[in-house]
């Protein structure tokens, strides 16, 4: 297992190229099951979760070539199953459920268990499919869904769910009749998927609003798509510039996807300028404590809560951070406290009293974004921080140590 060693205290300067978004790429790859043919995707990030999705598609019979662009040939799908071994390492595997039932009339997908950030049920995915006429049963830890042909339905999502919206949108694309999803997710990754589905021949309206209407068609055709830039990766590097009091130019971003984060970071004292697809971020020597509540897009993303908390750990007063999406997404708190942060946790609220400095320590986290927050804290801390279990980081941040080292961080990966 690898770990990262970070000697903190160096202001970061330079340019960082933002990669394609993991959470946009995964549903696009699952969507390839909707149409037999050669699907091609550019700007796919090289990440562990992407490799897991490729293994899953290959297990089903897809032929994948991952070169300058990713090509997925879905002409010979023979297995309609997502096995436990793959689903347990990546919950997003559940995204194959909608496409398989819609296209092949059957799917067997391991039920994801709870995970480090919360219970994360998929009841809304299943209820939506049932409303579209699927018979859904739980057998030996697997969801087994069957339908001759799904039919359009009016589906109210009790809670905003990103992959739930994506799964049902994909299922609806091949259903007979019209499906309306109420209280749908508005995340840019959902919009990107809708754009690819439309390119494949789907009829989708209302994307970006909370009501999405999908008029089902008989067939879809494989096409090409370029994955949107990763807004969470970009936002993480924005914090890296601020927490080290440095100056970073983030190249190839979509600033319109970063609105809530940009506003909060400006309120926290960072100087942020936007030029087209480049976001320039500078520290101004002082971090202002500000509160934040996580919300579905366009609100402040839960996927940035941990990283924002590292910044607030060095704030000039007290910040109140409320996690409203996942009930247990605070694994980073105890680790940040080991680095000298002053944080009190009560239910879904963290009260962060800024301290003058953090000190390097051995730390580890059990999820992706929590691990990123520890790297950020390590970049600002005095002395050496050892971040263990970095396979979590490798799930979602492309070559993070190279990107950081290229802008001056003293960071290296070593084998434990």
Residues designated catalytic? 115
Q: Does 196 bind ligand EPU (CB under 6 A)?
A: no
Q: Does 125 bind ligand EPU (CB under 6 A)?
A: yes
Q: In the set 100, 124, 207, 387, which binds ligand EPU (CB under 6 A)?
A: 124
Q: Does 390 bind ligand EPU (CB under 6 A)?
A: no
Please, which of residues 81-100 interact with ligand EPU by CB under 6 A?
A: 91-92
Query: Would you state the structure tokens that stand for residue 172, as one six-digit string?
Result: 């609806």
Q: How far is the CB of 93 from ligand EPU (least distance, A)?
A: 10
Q: Which helix H or strand E contains 73, and what residues bound it?
A: strand 70-73
Position of tokens 């993303």?
Answer: 301
Q: In the set 121, 208, 299, 362, which binds ligand EPU (CB under 6 A)?
A: 121
Give the span between the Cα atoms of 31 and 24, in whole angstroms: 11
Q: In the set 28, 97, 122, 370, which binds ligand EPU (CB under 6 A)?
A: 122
Q: In the set 368, 370, 374, 393, which binds ligand EPU (CB under 6 A)?
A: 368
Q: Does 253 bind ligand EPU (CB under 6 A)?
A: no
Q: Spell out the alpha helix ranges (H) of 121-252.
A: 123-131, 162-173, 188-199, 231-243
Q: How far is the CB of 301 from ligand EPU (least distance, A)?
A: 6
Q: Spell out the alpha helix ranges (H) of 32-150.
A: 48-60, 84-87, 97-104, 123-131
Q: Going by DSSP bridges, is the β-strand pair 349-353/342-346 parallel, antiparallel, or unpaired?
A: antiparallel
Q: Does 163 bind ligand EPU (CB under 6 A)?
A: yes
Please, which of residues 203-242 interact with ligand EPU by CB under 6 A?
A: none
Q: How far is the CB of 355 from ligand EPU (least distance, A)?
A: 27
Q: How far is the CB of 200 from ligand EPU (least distance, A)?
A: 20
Q: Spell out the alpha helix ranges (H) of 20-161.
A: 22-31, 48-60, 84-87, 97-104, 123-131
Q: Does 26 bind ligand EPU (CB under 6 A)?
A: yes
Piece of the chain touching ligand EPU by CB under 6 A; list 71-79, 119-127, 169-177, 243-251: 119-127
Q: In the set 40, 302, 310, 385, which binds ligand EPU (CB under 6 A)?
A: 302
Answer yes or no: are the C-beta atoms of 269 and 284 closer than 8 Å: yes
Please, which of residues 262-301 interact with ligand EPU by CB under 6 A?
A: none
Piece of the chain touching ligand EPU by CB under 6 A; list 114-122, 270-278, 309-317, 379-387: 114-122
Answer yes or no: are the C-beta atoms of 401 and 412 closer than 8 Å: yes
Q: Does 308 bind ligand EPU (CB under 6 A)?
A: no
Q: In the set 19, 23, 93, 307, which binds ligand EPU (CB under 6 A)?
A: 23
Q: What secondary structure does DSSP assign to 332-391, as a single string?
A: HHHHHHHTT-EEEEETTEEEEE--S--B--EEE-SSHHHHHHHHHHHHHSBSEEEEE-TH
Q: In the set 99, 164, 360, 378, which binds ligand EPU (CB under 6 A)?
A: 164
Q: Which residues pair with 414 in a beta bridge?
A: 3
Position of tokens 């032929």?
Answer: 63
Of 301 and 315, nearer to ligand EPU (C-beta) is 301
Q: How far is the CB of 300 from ligand EPU (least distance, A)?
A: 11
Q: Does 396 bind ligand EPU (CB under 6 A)?
A: yes
Q: Spell out the alpha helix ranges (H) of 279-347.
A: 305-312, 331-338
Answer yes or no: are the C-beta atoms of 246 and 13 closer than 8 Å: yes
Q: In the set 39, 186, 264, 369, which binds ligand EPU (CB under 6 A)?
A: 369
Q: Which helix H or strand E contains 413, and what residues bound it?
A: strand 410-415
Q: In the set 81, 230, 233, 303, which binds ligand EPU (CB under 6 A)?
A: 303
Give the span between the Cα atoms of 401 and 413, in whole angstroms: 7
Q: What residue ranges bind ligand EPU (CB under 6 A)? A: 23, 26, 91-92, 118-125, 159, 161-164, 189, 302-303, 325-326, 368-369, 396
């Amino acid at each position: 297992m690898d770990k990262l060693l970070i000697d903190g205290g160096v202001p970061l300067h330079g340019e960082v190229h933002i990669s394609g978004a993991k959470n946009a790429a995964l549903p696009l790859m699952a969507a390839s099951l909707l149409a037999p043919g050669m699907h091609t995707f550019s700007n796919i990030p090289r990440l562990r979760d992407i490799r897991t999705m490729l293994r899953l598609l290959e297990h089903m019979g897809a032929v994948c070539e991952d070169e300058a662009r990713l090509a997925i040939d879905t002409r010979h799908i023979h297995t309609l199953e997502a096995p436990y071994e793959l689903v347990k390492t990546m919950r997003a595997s559940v995204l194959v459920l909608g496409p398989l039932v819609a296209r092949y009339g059957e799917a067997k997908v391991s039920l994801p268990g709870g995970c480090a950030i919360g219970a994360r049920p998929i009841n809304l995915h299943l209820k939506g499919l049932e409303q579209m006429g699927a018979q859904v049963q739980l057998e030996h830890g697997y969801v087994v869904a069957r339908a001759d042909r799904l039919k359009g339905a009016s589906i109210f999502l009790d809670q905003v769910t990103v992959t739930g919206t994506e799964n049902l949108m994909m299922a609806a694309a091949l259903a007979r009749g019209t499906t309306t999803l109420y209280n749908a997710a508005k995340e840019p990754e959902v919009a990107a998927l809708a754009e690819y589905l439309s390119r494949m021949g789907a009829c989708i309206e209302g994307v970006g609003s909370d009501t999405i209407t999908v008029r089902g068609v008989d067939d879809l055709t494989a096409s090409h798509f370029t994955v949107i830039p990763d807004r969470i990766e970009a936002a993480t590097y924005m914090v890296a510039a601020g927490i080290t009091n440095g100056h970073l130019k983030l190249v190839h971003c979509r600033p319109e996807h970063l609105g809530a984060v940009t506003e909060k970071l400006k309120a926290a004292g960072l100087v942020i300028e936007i030029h087209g697809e480049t976001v320039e971020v500078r520290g101004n020597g002082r971090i202002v404590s500000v509160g934040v509540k996580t919300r579905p897009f366009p609100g402040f993303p839960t996927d940035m809560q941990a990283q924002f908390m590292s910044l607030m750990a060095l704030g000039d007063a007290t910040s109140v951070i409320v996690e409203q999406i996942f009930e247990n997404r605070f694994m980073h708190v105890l680790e940040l406290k080991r680095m000298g942060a002053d944080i009190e946790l009560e239910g879904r609220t963290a009260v962060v009293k800024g301290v003058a400095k953090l000190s390097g320590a051995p730390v580890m986290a059990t999820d992706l974004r929590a691990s990123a927050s520890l790297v950020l804290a390590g970049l600002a801390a005095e002395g050496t921080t050892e971040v263990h279990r970095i396979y979590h980081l490798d799930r979602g941040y492309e070559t993070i140590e190279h990107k950081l080292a290229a802008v001056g961080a003293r960071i290296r990966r070593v084998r434990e």
